[in-house]
Chains A and B, each alone.
Chain A
């Protein structure tokens, strides 16, 4: 299977400059500096690379949206990885920090950016130490700093730690947080490409997205675009967790059947249980029932199935579980993480929690499901950022596919309480 990001991932000491360089690391820089910055942007566009953080927006297009002739500009790497089920960026930075640095240098060169920040979630203090060391080595080698490899191009890179807020993975909230404010999302437009960090044009990309760029520069856009499907090019890291025998991060070519991911790569369901449901792209996307396991893992196939590829977190749920329990856990998460700025999200997440909690205490009434759907309708697409929509996804999909799990609880409702 083609491996781009995980090719050498378990190689000993890959995180060191020596081993990374031996594997061809930082080779792309000279190649890039021989080209005009616009050519790199065009190559990334032609590669079909889409943002790997969740939204799947074409990366090259995002870069080309930067406001013309406005400087300084900034690059922010989104290493806030907090979408439940997702842990791929952690493994990338832990084992291969130089790949991210190389990708950031390339992006900065392509977009004429001289300052970059890597925004890591606050809990990644251990990764921050690793990144800082790798950056120090990259400065010593002249890959970062002034006049990189004699190209005349300058790029300074810094890390910045968050402090525990899921919402800071949303790009405009991340920028507010990096500016030292509460991590509340901003109204869009203006998008960060026009007014981002310090109101200057800013590129915000996920760790995995930036890590792909060295490959595109080294091997060419065509080679990357030859992998995957028509609309989903290249490979994707999938974090497979939950009820599987071999949980782990796996790199798959987009368009791989989900069955292969769950049963071949992750070894299938343990304890002779059966697959009940899976959430294909992190907790914010709708779950699918077991009979959809032959859907292909790519942006368009998952969209056609009514869900999303999201961050690439495959959460596998077996038939020992009542889906209402997992749904309540996810609602609780979104309630906790709602920043409180928008009413539909702040109140909606709490109301959903109260209702489902009551259902689980066998105090539910038959019209509760209708009420939940009504609340979801009033949350979906009605807030500044997608957090409210994210909470709606598991709720609506759990009702759609596993209504009988809710009805289990209604069976036991004492007559007197209805």
Chain B
């Protein structure tokens, strides 16, 4: 098993995270997030590295990680598209748009494009219901979606 080491910059960030809490254990989600954002997944090796920082077992890290949908065991694409399918978006036609998006990317929902550029996920309510249908790509929210707008957004991403 090849090792996972935090970069110097990450080490600094970790110190900053620990300083926020009176108890170390609260840093679990922030550390998992740090890794997920950098690696686009949380690998078993990273879980071991996190467990060392947190003074707990790797299994415990995994049990926490597996609870939350934003951590991925499998690597996600450069652009993670979370397509809301909950009620307000459903009422505004998200199902057809999701189908359109999948077709445009040439993948099924849940898959990653072969070039690892896009991953398309069905997602529950993301709190932009007044601009339904909506999606989130990495950290950006996009509302009032239409086929045309989705096409433009996807084309604009390098």
Q: Which residues of A contact B (CB under 8 A)?
A: 72, 81-87, 89-90, 115, 121-126, 158, 160-166, 177-184, 198, 239-243, 247-249, 279, 283, 313, 315, 317, 321, 325-326, 329-330, 333, 336-337, 339
> Is B73 in contact with chain A by the CB < 8 A criterion?
no
Let me know if A163 and B136 touch, CB within 8 A: no
Let me know if A330 and B22 touch, CB within 8 A: no
Residues of B within 8 A of A83 (CB): 125
Shortest C-beta distance, A386 to chain B (Å), equals 17
Bound-state CA distance A124–B29 (Å) is: 14
Q: Among B29, B32, B91, point to the contact of A321 (Cβ < 8 A).
A: B91
Q: Which residues of B contact A (CB under 8 A)?
A: 20-23, 25-30, 32-33, 54, 63-64, 67-71, 82, 85-88, 90-92, 124-132, 136, 139-141
Residues of B within 8 A of A325 (CB): 90
Let me know if A161 and B124 touch, CB within 8 A: no
Residues of A within 8 A of B139 (CB): 125-126
Bound-state CA distance A272–B53 (Å) is: 60
Bound-state CA distance A138–B154 (Å) is: 38
Instruction: Known pairs A161-B29, A317-B91; list 12 more (Cβ under 8 Å).
Output: A72-B22, A123-B82, A158-B20, A180-B29, A184-B67, A242-B87, A243-B91, A247-B129, A248-B130, A279-B87, A283-B125, A315-B87
Bound-state CA distance A279–B29 (Å) is: 33
Q: With A165-B68, A183-B67, A326-B87 in contact, do A87 and B130 touch (Cβ < 8 Å)?
A: yes
Shortest C-beta distance, B125 to chain A (Å), equals 4
Let me know if A163 and B129 touch, CB within 8 A: no
Bound-state CA distance A225–B16 (Å) is: 43
Shortest C-beta distance, A144 to chain B (Å), equals 14
Q: With A122-B33, A180-B27 in contact, do A242 and B88 touch (Cβ < 8 Å)?
A: yes
Bound-state CA distance A87–B29 (Å) is: 24
Residues of B within 8 A of A241 (CB): 88, 91, 129-130, 132
Bound-state CA distance A329–B91 (Å) is: 10
Let me know if B29 and A240 touch, CB within 8 A: no
Residues of A within 8 A of B20 (CB): 158, 160
Which chain B residue shows the least CB distance to A328? B90
Which chain A residue shows the least CB distance to B86? A84
| Contact count A vs B, C-beta below 8 Å | 140
Let me know if A163 and B32 touch, CB within 8 A: yes
Which chain B residue shows the least CB distance to A177? B29
Bound-state CA distance A279–B87 (Å) is: 11
Residues of A within 8 A of B70 (CB): 122-123, 163-164
Let me know if A329 and B90 touch, CB within 8 A: yes
Residues of A within 8 A of B63 (CB): 182
Shortest C-beta distance, B93 to chain A (Å), equals 11
Most-contacted residue by chain A among B25, B67, B82, B88 (CB, 10 A)? B88
Bound-state CA distance A140–B84 (Å) is: 38
Residues of A within 8 A of B87 (CB): 84-85, 242, 279, 283, 315, 326, 329-330, 333
Let me know if B127 and A179 touch, CB within 8 A: no
Bound-state CA distance A318–B124 (Å) is: 22
Let me know if A249 and B33 touch, CB within 8 A: no
Bound-state CA distance A90–B20 (Å) is: 23
Let me know if B33 and A179 touch, CB within 8 A: no
Let me know if A179 and B136 touch, CB within 8 A: no
Let me know if B88 and A179 touch, CB within 8 A: no
Q: Among B27, B131, B140, point to the contact of A247 (Cβ < 8 A).
A: B131
Q: Among B22, B64, B130, point to the contact of A181 (Cβ < 8 A).
A: B64
Bound-state CA distance A181–B126 (Å) is: 22
Let me know if B129 and A84 touch, CB within 8 A: yes
Let me know if A87 and B64 touch, CB within 8 A: no
Which 7 A-B pairs rank lowest in CB-CB distance, beginning with the nearest? A180-B28, A163-B68, A164-B69, A164-B70, A241-B129, A241-B88, A84-B125
Let me know if A123 and B29 touch, CB within 8 A: no
Let me know if A85 and B25 touch, CB within 8 A: no
Shortest C-beta distance, A272 to chain B (Å), equals 16
Q: Among A72, A163, A178, A179, point to the contact of B71 (Cβ < 8 A).
A: A163
